[in-house]
Structure 1
């Protein structure tokens, strides 16, 4: 069971997930994207991701996933050939940060047939006190990446991966993107471990 009583320090950067009172929703989510998990119910929240800055395709209106699979890759770091290709083809790959670059991970997901890639902190290494959305940038590998990629907070990624493992599920069903532009922050269905 997750401890929903964790408190986070509020910061004054409107681009940070933990923002000061008075910031508009548009300021907070500018450039970021939301997705929602439909199944399993234990993970049925809206999650904020930060798209890659200068590689891959953009998350735009022409890209829409409805009841798509969010599939943790095997191996989870995606730094070698992905083994669970049958589960990933046409869906969204979920990988952990580390061992190789964001671009390389995204390229491996693309080679496995993924239509998008979400990367999160390593579930064994993330530091709750430093958990924040980061900018994923091109590593100048000159690798052709044509699918969108984004970064997910470590606690959210760890919770998704651990919950799926515990339930012995290969994937979560998601809608991506979800338009949150005009949704008041108090009405967003955020995970209980995210403090606004």
Structure 2
């Protein structure tokens, strides 16, 4: 397979989608469009789904891109244009552990995430906590990745069950 030019990186919260997207952008010379920057306004105000869809559609019309996620209101858009889906299908303990470490680190450091937003103790302890979202979304994301991989009408899906498998694949990619 030649180097892909339109890549959807997919996985549950904490799997490492953004980290991988940044690595792939650097290695392949592709523009990376962090999904969180497209979905969240300052103050954790969610961009309306119709606007999210418009933003993603504009990106996906291009010939070169990496997107690090795909959500319900527009998941079909990148899937229709992707050359490749890279699916991070790690065990729950690994992705949840990564998410927990990242969340605690962000709480301690006050790291700015997307569009000036920060995680707070209140957000982590709320009903909308990213940790709770992980618990609820894990099974759905895993089923979705496996269904995409089994679908011969969709883009090719490379599904990785461990970071070591992923690292071997990335190391074999050409540099642009």
Q: Normalized per residue, which structure has more helix?
A: 2
TM-score normalised over the length of structure 1: 0.24
What is the TM-score normalised by the length of structure 2? 0.26
Structure with the higher fraction of residues in strand conformation = 1
